[in-house]
Chains A and B, each alone.
Chain A
Amino acid sequence: MTSKTMLRAGLYLILILFALFYLMPLFVMLTTSLKSLEEIRTGSLLALPRDITFAPWVEAWSTACAGTQCEGLRPFFWNSVLMAVPAVMISTVVGALNGYVFAQWRFRGANLFFAMILFGCFIPFQVVLLPMAQMLGLMGLAGSIPGLIFVHVIYGLGFTTLFFRNYYVTIPQELVRAAKVDGAGFFRIFWSIFLPISLPIITVSVIWQFTQIWNDFLFGVSFSGAGSQPVTVALNNIVNSTTGVKAYNVDMAAAIIAALPTLLVYVVAGKYFIRGLTAGSVKG
């Protein structure tokens, strides 16, 4: 063996070891969700299931109890969809327009304002809970899905604006100038020049926002009412049993179900994610 092939073998070894490290928790979750409680109690944590059972999955989806309601995750899953889809769309659209202005239509104070938006990305959400509750009450959005959408749009703006601004800033300003000379207006230029080339960065923005919003627990638990609780809150209710034997297999199945949409987005769109990052947002 030459040293070159040795080197490559070592390279693959390292990459595979890291892959195992990243996969470990998912592996534990998946195998546990397919075991019976008896097997979990007696067997090793890292062992493969002896008898595969899907019963925990069925229970987590449709019959697990979260409070007095025993309908599993299903109704809450739908709440999350109703919340996440509009919130992702609105924050992406607003972020795109903001980014377009910051990148191509600079005016005095624009940089300062951009910095202020960015700083907003860092505000810890625990800080805004109570004043936000008051504002939502004033606006009549408390305890509702529109209220949750509103909150997620506001606190997603910073990142979406950042993504689009960094992407559009790489596009030569001559293009806009030329279009203006041709008589095209603000929206016209956006629509016919910028939007068509935006697919990669839209992907980045959508993936990022969807992950953040879908996985959010703190806003979900604070600003939802009965009937509008998102899936993370229901998951928490199912998993946080304080009495009785813990149904770990159901817990794990529920956790994976709650995570499926984001996992799917990463697996399916991950390639575009990297491409989107390559295309612009890294060029500052």
Chain B
Amino acid sequence: MYLKSVLAASTAVMLAGPVMAEPTAEVLHWWTSGGEAKSVAVLQDQFKAEGGTWTDMPVAGGGGDAAMTALRARVLSGNAPTAVQLKGPAIQEWYEETGLADISAVADENNWADVLPAQIAEHMKCEGQWCAAPVNVHRVNWLWGNKQILDEHGIEMPTTWDEFNAAAEKLQEAGVTPLAHGGQAWQDATIFETVVLGLGGPEFFQKALVDLDPEALQSDTMKQVFDEMRTIRGYVDDNFSGRDWNLATAMVMNGEAAFQIMGDWAKGEFLAAGKEPGTDFVCAQTPGEGFLYNVDSFAFFELDGEDKQQGQALLAKLIMGPEFQKTFNLNKGSIPARTDVALDDFDSCAVESNKAMNAGAEDGSLLPSYAHGMALRGAPAGAITDVVTAHFNSDMSSDDAVQQLVDAVANAM
């Protein structure tokens, strides 16, 4: 019996021998629900249509924390997934520690260098070779407003933080919660970085949150930033702790609050609820100039096996395909990473986002988001977030916060 099955198996192997390998991919991602899951399903369908076999490995939770835990376990056990959702400097960090597959062939063949903004292309490269494929570009520094409330109180979208404060005071006197916010560390950090950008300008942002220049970190500007954070703390409702961001968005949608500071994934919520930009809600960049980007991307581990390598190449090609870039981003609220995708079907906020991205690429105000892991590696970014969230959720003074910030960054290096 045993012998027979061994024989059968080996015949099968011999027969299957020299056939061309079919592309296969096991994809580790944390887009498990709603529009995101639908978007991944689109990719999966395209992959299958090209003759590939897709194995789905979704791990949700903690904004990718659980997925990263799984990823480490998988890599250490010598069982790395074919493709994994990775972004920002983490891509290069993984490249240095374990190596990533070189997908330059696909990238060159499809002229990625010509269709991606240079800053964003740089994130996809490891020592000059392409090692990741971008899916989208989120703009982080958005201010969302409830049109009806703003009109009612005669408030324009603010263009400076002073204007924002004035508007918030006015709303508060009228008994409206000015700012919908969820008290989770990354949301606190999101507000923080938009304030840094707004009060300090793009150059200061670059110095403080990308280069981690100690002088910038302990400057008076940084103190002002923390002062403004304290002021903003007064504009959120009592019940904000631990609230998920989409619940905060719902508050703006339902007229329970006037503003929210959040990346353009919040727009996906508005659109999904059938709200129209310009009539139901308004979008504007947070006070100040610049464009903070958050780019989702997929990276590929070095694997043996023709089928897997082909799967990686096919996946990379499809992810950067205009078709997928359009469908995915319509679902998710972001804009395509490719600059040559027609934006006819996109809403006015997305079009504006695209304009700002192109302008920012020219004048140097296109900057990586620190709060969303685009600017810094995990340890220093986390150290900054610790200080920001501790300050926001306590009565720490701005001076103390600045001191802690400098110490924490030094300690994380």
Q: How far is the CA of A143 from the CA of B56 in the complex (A)?
A: 14
Q: How far is the CA of A227 from the CA of B26 in the complex (A)?
A: 11
Chain A 119-136 residues near chain B, CB threshold 8 A: 129-130, 132-134, 136
Which of B63, B79, B332 is within 8 Å of A143, CB to CB? Answer: B79
B17: interface (CB < 8 Å): no
B61: interface (CB < 8 Å): yes
Kindly provide the distance from the CB of A262 to the nearest chain B CB, expressed in whole angstroms.
21
B73: interface (CB < 8 Å): yes
Q: Are B60 and A243 in contact (CB under 8 A)?
A: no
Which of A129, A130, A137, A227 is within 8 Å of B55, CB to CB? Answer: A227
Contact with A along B235-271 (1 / 0, CB 8 A): 0000000001110000000000000000001001100
Chain A 126-163 residues near chain B, CB threshold 8 A: 129-130, 132-134, 136-137, 142-143
Contact with A along B70-90 (1 / 0, CB 8 A): 101110111100000000000
Q: How far is the CA of A218 from the CA of B69 in the complex (A)?
A: 9
Q: Are A130 and B73 in contact (CB under 8 A)?
A: yes
B44: interface (CB < 8 Å): yes
Chain A residue with Cβ nearest B79: A142
A69: interface (CB < 8 Å): yes
Q: Are A67 and B32 in contact (CB under 8 A)?
A: yes
Q: Please give, as numbers and ranges, the residues of chain B lying within 8 Å of A227 by CB-CB distance.
A: 55
Given contacts A65-B33, A142-B74, A243-B35, contact A237 B60 (CB under 8 A): yes
B113: interface (CB < 8 Å): no
Q: Are B246 and A130 in contact (CB under 8 A)?
A: no
Q: How far is the CA of A244 from the CA of B246 in the complex (A)?
A: 8
Contact with A along B13-40 (1 / 0, CB 8 A): 0000000000000100101111111001
Contact with B along A204-219 (1 / 0, CB 8 A): 0000000000000010
Kindly provide the distance from the CB of A115 to the nearest chain B CB, expressed in whole angstroms.
30
Given contacts A142-B79, A243-B246, contact A68 B60 (CB under 8 A): no
Given contacts A143-B74, A223-B73, A226-B26, contact A242 B37 (CB under 8 A): no
Q: How far is the CA of A142 from the CA of B269 in the complex (A)?
A: 38
Q: How far is the CA of A148 from the CA of B347 in the complex (A)?
A: 47
B364: interface (CB < 8 Å): no
A241: interface (CB < 8 Å): yes
Kindly provide the distance from the CB of B364 to the nearest chain A CB, expressed in whole angstroms.
32
Q: How far is the CA of A227 from the CA of B57 in the complex (A)?
A: 8
A246: interface (CB < 8 Å): yes
Q: How far is the CA of A236 from the CA of B58 in the complex (A)?
A: 10
A66: interface (CB < 8 Å): yes
B375: interface (CB < 8 Å): no
Q: Please give, as numbers and ranges, the residues of chain A lying within 8 Å of B31 by CB-CB distance.
A: 67
Q: Are B70 and A222 in contact (CB under 8 A)?
A: yes
Q: Please give, as numbers and ranges, the residues of chain A lying within 8 Å of B62 by CB-CB distance.
A: 240
Which of A136, A225, A240 is within 8 Å of B32, CB to CB? Answer: A240
Q: Please give, as numbers and ranges, the residues of chain B lying within 8 Å of A222 by CB-CB distance.
A: 69-70, 72-73
Q: Are A221 and B78 in contact (CB under 8 A)?
A: no
A233: interface (CB < 8 Å): yes
Kindly provide the distance from the CB of B92 to the nearest chain A CB, expressed in whole angstroms.
21
Chain B residue with Cβ nearest A240: B60
Given contacts A68-B40, A226-B55, A233-B59, contact A242 B26 (CB under 8 A): no
Kindly provide the distance from the CB of B127 to the nearest chain A CB, expressed in whole angstroms.
26
Given contacts A133-B74, A237-B32, A244-B35, contact A66 B58 (CB under 8 A): yes
Q: Please give, as numbers and ranges, the residues of chain A lying within 8 Å of B33 by CB-CB distance.
A: 65-66, 237-238, 240-244
Q: Please give, as numbers and ranges, the residues of chain A lying within 8 Å of B244 by CB-CB distance.
A: 242, 246
Q: Please give, as numbers and ranges, the residues of chain A lying within 8 Å of B78 by CB-CB distance.
A: 137, 142
Q: Are A244 and B59 in contact (CB under 8 A)?
A: no
Kindly provide the distance from the CB of A243 to the nearest chain B CB, expressed in whole angstroms.
4
A282: interface (CB < 8 Å): no
Q: Are B57 and A238 in contact (CB under 8 A)?
A: no
Kindly provide the distance from the CB of B270 to the nearest chain A CB, expressed in whole angstroms.
12
Q: Are B246 and A242 in contact (CB under 8 A)?
A: yes
Q: Please give, as numbers and ranges, the residues of chain A lying within 8 Å of B272 by CB-CB distance.
A: 243-245
Q: How far is the CA of A241 from the CA of B37 in the complex (A)?
A: 9
Kindly provide the distance from the CB of A137 to the nearest chain B CB, expressed in whole angstroms.
3
Q: How far is the CA of A238 from the CA of B159 in the complex (A)?
A: 39
Chain A 152-193 residues near chain B, CB threshold 8 A: none
Kindly provide the distance from the CB of A134 to the nearest chain B CB, expressed in whole angstroms.
5
Kindly provide the distance from the CB of B239 to the nearest chain A CB, expressed in whole angstroms.
14
Q: Are B66 and A226 in contact (CB under 8 A)?
A: no
Q: Are A226 and B69 in contact (CB under 8 A)?
A: no
Q: Are A244 and B269 in contact (CB under 8 A)?
A: yes
Q: How far is the CA of A246 from the CA of B246 in the complex (A)?
A: 9
Q: How far is the CA of A243 from the CA of B69 in the complex (A)?
A: 22
Q: Please give, as numbers and ranges, the residues of chain A lying within 8 Å of B9 by CB-CB distance.
A: none
Which of B37, B76, B79 is within 8 Å of A67, CB to CB? Answer: B37
Given contacts A237-B60, A238-B32, A244-B269, contact A68 B74 (CB under 8 A): no
Chain A residue with Cβ nearest B43: A68
Given contacts A142-B77, A225-B79, A240-B61, contact A69 B56 (CB under 8 A): yes
Q: Are A133 and B72 in contact (CB under 8 A)?
A: yes
Kindly provide the distance from the CB of A284 to the nearest chain B CB, expressed in whole angstroms.
38
Q: Are B246 and A236 in contact (CB under 8 A)?
A: no
Q: How far is the CA of A83 from the CA of B266 in the complex (A)?
A: 39
Q: Please give, as numbers and ranges, the residues of chain A lying within 8 Å of B35 by CB-CB distance.
A: 243-244
Q: Please give, as numbers and ranges, the residues of chain A lying within 8 Å of B76 by CB-CB distance.
A: 130, 133-134, 137
Q: Are A65 and B69 in contact (CB under 8 A)?
A: no
* Known contacts A221-B59, A221-B70; 6 further A-B pairs (Cβ under 8 A): A68-B54, A129-B69, A133-B74, A221-B66, A226-B56, A246-B244
User: Could you pull out 21 A-B pairs where Cβ atoms are within 8 angstroms?
Assistant: A65-B32, A65-B33, A66-B32, A66-B33, A67-B31, A67-B57, A68-B37, A130-B73, A142-B77, A142-B78, A143-B74, A221-B59, A221-B61, A222-B72, A226-B26, A238-B32, A239-B60, A242-B246, A243-B272, A244-B33, A246-B246
Residues of B near any A CB (own CB < 8 A):
26, 29, 31-37, 40-41, 44, 54-63, 66, 69-70, 72-74, 76-79, 244-246, 265, 268-269, 272-273, 332
The 5 closest A-B pairs by CB, nearest first: A67-B58, A244-B34, A137-B77, A241-B33, A142-B77
